[in-house]
Chains A and B, each alone.
Chain A
Amino acid sequence: QQQVKQSPQSLIVQKGGIPIINCAYENTAFDYFPWYQQFPGKGPALLIAIRPDVSEKKEGRFTISFNKSAKQFSLHIMDSQPGDSATYFCAASKNGGFKTIFGAGTRLFVKA
């Protein structure tokens, strides 16, 4: 019940493409769903996050779509750029972020 399942494991897109990364969770008590971006040799950093009272959130080229009934959420990257090449982690937590559970990660490579 504590798991967050993420797919795909890796993704290659052309510059300008729209990679989509999907996540699913079981625990309906989760109330905070962030996405983190990690570059090689660095720590993860928050990219965008959503709470279950909205179905979509957009920040720049990054959009989260959230389907509460299906217990799924996804990250879309519009007009992807080579600089977006990184590992992306979805995550979930409850009660304000304590004990955040991470998905397995998606390695994205954007071809120039």
Chain B
Amino acid sequence: NAGVMQNPRHLVRRRGQEARLRCSPMKGHSHVYWYRQLPEEGLKFMVYLQKENIIDESGMPKERFSAEFPKEGPSILRIQQVVRGDSAAYFCASSPPGGGTGELFFGEGSRLTVL
């Protein structure tokens, strides 16, 4: 499967625990984006990364959230000390070097539930 792979698809955490969401972009893609979708709401931009660089994190909450895209391995979105308001679907998207046509290729999302 050459598509964007996200795991886990579903994650349950208790308040105060950490959540780690992983994203492997499409083969040949070097740009990764993370979006958050709250129930019945749209997609909110969180962060845009290239290999080993955070390009734009203007949508990331200032505390508890961090993202990385290392030279080797998947991109990781990390949420520390989760709260109930973090419950959402987190989508990763990728695009080729240079942005390609502008199209984003999305994974199927990771659904986080905080108890």
Contacts and interface: CB of A to CB of B under 8 A. Distances in A.
Interface of A: 6, 32, 34, 36, 41-46, 49, 89, 93, 95-105
B25 interface: no
Interface stretch (B13-21, B40-48, B62-70, B79-87): B40-48
A93 B95 CA distance: 13
Interface of B: 4, 31, 33, 35, 41-45, 48, 55-56, 58, 91, 93, 95, 98-104, 106-109
B45 A32 contact: no
A46 B104 contact: yes
Given A89-B42, A105-B41, A105-B43, 9 more contacts: A34-B102, A42-B108, A42-B109, A44-B104, A49-B103, A97-B100, A100-B104, A102-B43, A104-B41
Nearest to B104: A100
Contacts of B103: 34, 46, 49, 97
A35 to B, nearest CB: 11
Contact of A44 (B31, B95, B106): B106
